[in-house]
């Protein structure tokens, strides 16, 4: 039987024996009371890594984002986001449903909008227009293929927004990848933002959990909304221990995932009908336009699945592969070789 190589997402990673052992040995308490020592240690550590005053452990990246939107806005406000941002596309209209917000979307290049376009999206201060209260960026940018937002561009947008009284939030689910790929420190990547939501359960390989970081006032407000949204957990130190293990062992190795993604992309780019923007393969994602094959997206995914390679649909004529710690470099080379064989017949 052909071995399955699962490249659907870095969210499918499973905790290994050492991480599980750390979870078993975790010291726990009631985190809703602020009494879980392992959660507290994680919050302090991650806040320090990003140069922020405080952190708050939350169940998911989506909850982290949605809480931060609520912290910075009032019902009926408008926020600015890049048109393909996770907050816009993949959070089930959460900004409208949970915070009563509408979104003004701007087009970006590999996830980064032009500062002039972002400024243009700010509403005039007229009583019959919504108040622009927040600008959101995503780093890395998923729908662009895991691209890293250039720090100079982030700073330029942040300066323009802050000078106009608009707060900044970063969906930093894969900001660890951005730091490793760019060589820019987590503190530098975080400085332009008032809050960030960062994830442990993707490339870092923890089973559950994200973190909000920001100033103390924002995080205290976030704690209240976490309770309202149903995200208050009790003996969550079992999960926090996995995140602490991931911080100790799984950040530097993200470079291996990035190298595997580049190899995978270069191999698939040799297939007639496969189109890949190779410069956009900067971290652990590969998005391939398969329109030139004459086959539908679902047909391509089915053929790859039959060969034991699992990927996901992206846009109308694109498929996505994501490298992660549960697939080795050898696995990724084998996956690429199988796909090349299928479409070279």
pLDDT of residue 345: 74
Q: Which of 193, 214, 249 is the last residue in one of the domains? A: 249
pLDDT of residue 344: 85
Q: Based on the domain organization, do 191 and 290 belong to the same domain? A: no
Q: Based on the domain organization, do 239 and 266 belong to the same domain? A: no
Q: Based on the domain organization, do 270 and 191 belong to the same domain? A: no
The answer to whether residue 12 sits within a structural domain is no
Boundaries of domain holding 258: 253-343
Q: Based on the domain organization, do 87 and 224 belong to the same domain? A: yes
Q: Which of 200, 231, 249 is the last residue in one of the domains? A: 249
pLDDT exceeds cutoff 70 at 1: no
Once rounded to an integer, what is the mean pLDDT over residues 92-105?
98
Q: Based on the domain organization, do 185 and 314 belong to the same domain? A: no
Q: What are the tens digits of pLDDT across the range 50-90?
A: 999 999 999 999 999 999 999 999 999 999 999 999 999 99
Instruction: Report if pTM > 0.85.
Output: yes
Q: Which of 219, 249, 279 is the last residue in one of the domains? A: 249
Once rounded to an integer, what is the mean pLDDT over residues 193-213?
98
Once rounded to an integer, what is the mean pLDDT over residues 314-322?
95
The answer to whether residue 6 sits within a structural domain is no
pLDDT exceeds cutoff 80 at 157: yes
Q: Based on the domain organization, do 284 and 231 belong to the same domain? A: no
CATH number at residue 127: 3.40.640.10
**Number of structural domains the chain divides into:** 2
The answer to whether residue 116 sits within a structural domain is yes
Over the chain, what is the mean pLDDT?
A: 97
3-state secondary structure the chain: CCCCEECCCHHHCCCCHHHHHHHHCCCCCCHHHCCCHHHHHHHHHHHHHCCCCEEEEECCHHHHHHHHHHHHCCCCCEEEEECCCHHHHCCCCHHHHHHCCEEEEECEECCEECHHHHHHHCCCCCCCCCCEEEEEEECCEHHHCCECCCHHHHHHHHHHHHCCCCEEEEEECCHHHHHHHHCCCHHHHHCCCCEEEEECCCCCCCCCCEEEEECHHHHHHHHHHHHHCCCCCCCCHHHHHHHHHHHHHCCCCHHHHHHHHHHHHHHHCCCCCCECCHHHCCCCEEEEECHHHCCCHHHHHHHHHHCCEECEECCCCEEEEECCCCCCHHHHHHHHHHHHHHHCC
The answer to whether residue 52 sits within a structural domain is yes
Q: Based on the domain organization, do 64 and 175 belong to the same domain? A: yes
pLDDT exceeds cutoff 80 at 268: yes
pLDDT exceeds cutoff 70 at 334: yes
């Amino acid at each position: 039987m052909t071995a399955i190589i699962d490249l659907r997402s870095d969210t499918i990673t499973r905790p290994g024996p050492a991480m599980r052992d750390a979870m078993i040995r975790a010291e726990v308490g009631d985190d809703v009371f602020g009494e879980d020592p392992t959660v507290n240690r994680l919050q302090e550590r991650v806040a320090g890594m990003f140069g922020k005053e405080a952190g708050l452990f939350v169940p998911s990246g989506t909850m982290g984002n949605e809480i931060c939107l609520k912290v910075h806005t009032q019902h009926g406000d408008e926020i600015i986001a890049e048109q393909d941002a996770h907050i816009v596309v993949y959070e089930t209209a959460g900004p409208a449903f949970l915070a009563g917000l509408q979104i003004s979307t701007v087009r970006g290049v590999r996830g980064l909008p032009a500062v002039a376009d972002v400024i243009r999206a700010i509403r005039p201060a007229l009583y019959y227009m919504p108040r622009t209260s927040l600008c959101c960026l995503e780093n890395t940018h998923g729908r662009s293929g895991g691209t890293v937002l250039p720090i100079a561009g982030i700073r330029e947008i942040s300066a323009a927004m802050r000078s106009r009284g608009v707060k900044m939030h970063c969906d930093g689910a894969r900001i660890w990848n951005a730091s490793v790929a760019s060589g820019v420190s987590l503190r530098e990547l975080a400085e332009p933002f008032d809050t960030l939501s960062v994830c442990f359960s993707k490339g870092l390989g923890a089973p559950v959990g994200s973190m909000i970081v920001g100033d103390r006032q924002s995080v205290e407000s976030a704690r209240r909304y976490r309770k309202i949204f149903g995200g208050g957990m009790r003996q969550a130190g079992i999960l926090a221990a996995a995140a602490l293990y991931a911080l100790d062992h799984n950040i530097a190795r993200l470079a291996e995932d990035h190298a595997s993604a580049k190899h995978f992309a270069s191999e698939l780019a040799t297939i007639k009908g496969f189109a890949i923007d190779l410069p956009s393969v900067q971290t652990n994602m590969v998005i391939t336009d398969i329109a030139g094959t004459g086959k539908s997206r679902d047909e391509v995914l089915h053929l790859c699945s039959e060969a034991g390679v699992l990927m996901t649909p992206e846009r109308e004529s694109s498929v996505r592969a994501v490298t992660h710690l549960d697939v080795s470099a050898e696995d990724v080379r084998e996956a690429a070789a199988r796909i090349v064989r299928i479409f070279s017949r």
